[in-house]
Structure 1
Amino acid sequence: MLRTQKVKLYPNQTMKKVLDDLCDYRRYCWNQGLALWNDMYDASVILADKKQRPNERKVRDELVANKADWQYQLSARCLQLAISDLGKAWQNFFDRAQPDWGKPHFKSKKAPRQGFKTDRAKLVNGRLRLDKPLGVKTPWFDIKFKGARNLTGELKVVSIYRENGQYWASLPFEVMVPEKTKTGVKTAVDVNVGHFDYTAGRINTLPGHLQKIYKRIKHYQRQLARKRKVNGKQAIQSKNYAKMRAKLQRDYRRVANVQHDLMQKFTTQLVSNYDQIVIEDLAVKKM
């Protein structure tokens, strides 16, 4: 099975520039591939020729053949994995049962989260080393990280992303796990607002310390809105506004971490204690 660990990266200024360039390159490859995919599909419809319909291989080969000189200064795996994910996104488009179903869309540079993937990253002396582009003779750097435990197994495709000025990495390891012991017990899970009900009791998804963070978030949002209303566009240029926004982003990260921790512990408990789990398939987002 794949066991993924999320770690925080601490790159120096040089590595930050490298990571930012790779994030931009990933977005560029995705948008170029999506535009080419749409053009190929339109051409196949106009000519009524199914053989000209696009696929992952056709789009990738076309982009590789038309690479510019500056693209050779960046990792080739960025382009390969971006088009691979684009092909999977189109496959999911034909399956309405997929969560967040819809057509692939173009990536925006204004999105708060930017990232890229690589399948050639390595762990060297407790640091993360990325693959070096072919022909580049500049020295390479290893990135410090924290938050990992028991890094054992084969490292697979690593996802690196930037969010709120901080850098994170998801490190998936392929590990061998012992076969689960059969318990012969069944359970059912009912999803509600603020809690989960199952046969053994209830899991509160809105604990007291999470409600306190939500109150601080509400306060910071009001403060920022008041500053924007009074000062207009000049408000975002002040240091106090930047400090307030940093506090707001910090609390949003805390909320996400608390909710993720609750979900991971609850799902682990279900899988460990029950052999059969029944969950309703209601579209909660549409209710």
Structure 2
Amino acid sequence: PRFKSKKATRQGFKTDRAKIIKGKLRLDKPHGIKNWYDIRMSGDKLLTGELKVVSICRENGKYWASLPFEIEVANKAKTNRVTAVDVNVGHINYTEGKINTLPDNLKRSYKRIKHYQRMLARKSVINGKRATKSNNYVKTRAKLQRDYRKVANIQHDIMQKFTTQLVEEYDKIVIEDLQVKQMQMTHVAPKGLQRSMFGYFRQILSYKCDWNGKKLILADKYYPSTQRCSKCGHIKTGADKVGLNGNLKHGTKHNEYICYECGSVMDRDENAVYNLLALIN
């Protein structure tokens, strides 16, 4: 295909004339092309529903097609259960346990990404504009794009499965209304905040709750879920506050919550979950 811009890193186009025929994807035949075939679809089950606008892009020398289908989704059965979700850097806590959002295989991929980025930067500094025309630069960039796609697929898979589990098992879900952009602009763990995908988690959970008739409750951004004691209700202020690195005044760790009013010692994230759960009652 002839794309609008040859300089764009992600070249693609959209078409509303694509069809699924006998388990194969059929696209319009471009002008001047003699040999043109339908694309085989992998998987045992054929895709059903009304096929909408298909997006096709070229990335890393390969073509990718996004096939959106409009189908009727039956509402999930009511469970009369409630839960609260506290998102953190690297994991998500809820009433039944914890989900790891940055597993070890992701950490290894991020190390490779860092290595390839340094190689490309070094080549650009030495060779300038000519660097992008070398074969080694193209090969290294292809490896970098491959690892970026692998990381995105793993993270999206984790989020999609967890949010589906939430809407299937609970009728009411409480999450925090976080200011993700402002949090990433701080000097405390901005890279970890970006990789934990707080905004993506809220986005997909919102539309899945709408689809299945479940209620999503947003806690106010000033609600002290981390600073409040879930047992006595005392709220820490000033130098007693708990931060990402714990509390310097009392020498506590980042995952500890110690209430100096009632003497309770709890896990910081579990305490936040119970505080969010109190908004439903």
TM-score by length of 1: 0.56
Task: Give the superposition deviation at 1:148.
Answer: 5.0
Asked if the contact 2:23/2:41 (under 8 Å) is kept, the reply is no
Equivalent of 2:7, from 98, 101, 110?
110
Q: Work out which of the two has the higher radius of gyration on C-alpha atoms and give 1 or 2.
A: 2
Counterpart residue number, 2:22: 125
- Equivalent pair of 1:182/1:275 in contact (CA under 8 Å): yes
TM-fit CA distance, 1:262: 0.8
Match of 1:193 in 2: 89
What CA deviation, in whole Å up to 9, does each residue of 1:86-136 have, x standing for no partner?
Answer: xxxxxxxxxxxxxxxxxxxxxx65332233333332112332223579xx8
The aligned runs of 1:1-287 (5 Å cut-off) are 20-21=1-2, 23-24=3-4, 110-131=7-28, 141-148=36-43, 150=45, 151-287=47-183
Distance 1:180 1:140 in 2: 47
**Counterpart amino acid of residue 147 in structure 2:** D
**Alpha-carbon spacing, 1:209–1:124, altered in 2? closer, same or farther (3 Å):** same
Displacement of 1:173 in angstroms is 2.2
Whole-Å separation in 2 of the counterparts to 1:237 and 1:132: 31
Give the deviation of 1:201 after TM superposition: 1.6
TM-score by length of 2: 0.57
Give the drift of 1:256. 0.9
- What percentage of residue pairs aligned between the two structures are identical? 66
Instruction: Using the TM superposition, give the Cα deviation of residue 283 of structure 1 relative to its aligned residue in structure 2, in angstroms.
Output: 1.9
Q: Is the 8 A contact 2:25 2:41 kept in 1?
A: no
Identify unmatched segments of 5+ residues in structure 2.
184-281
- Which structure has more relative contact order (CA 8 Å, sep 6+)? It is 1
Cα 1:119–1:237 shift into 2, 3 Å: closer
CA RMSD of aligned residues (A): 2.6
Change in 2 beyond 3 A, CA 1:160/1:238: closer
Name the counterpart of 1:91.
none
Q: Contact 1:196/1:203 (CA < 8 Å) preserved in 2? A: yes
Residue-by-residue CA offset, 1:247-285 (whole Å, 9 max, x unaligned): 111111111111111111111111111111122221212
The CA deviation at 1:175 is 2.9
Give the letter aligned to residue 128 of structure 1.
Answer: L
Where 1:189 maps in the other structure, the secondary structure is strand
CA–CA separation in structure 2 for the residues paired with 1:115 and 1:245: 19
Q: Is the 8 A contact 1:128 1:142 kept in 2?
A: no
Q: Distance in 2 between matches of 1:138 and 1:243?
A: 29
- The Cα of 1:176 is off from its aligned counterpart by 3.6
Deviation, structure 1 residue 145 = 4.5
Question: Following TM superposition, by how much is the alpha carbon of 1:229 offset from its aligned partner in structure 2, in angstroms?
Answer: 2.3
The change in CA–CA distance for 1:197 and 1:234 in structure 2 (over 3 A counts) is same
Whole-Å separation in 1 of the counterparts to 2:42 and 2:94: 32
How many residue pairs are counted as aligned between the two chains? 182
Structure ranking higher in helix proportion: 1
Offset of residue 178 of structure 1: 4.0
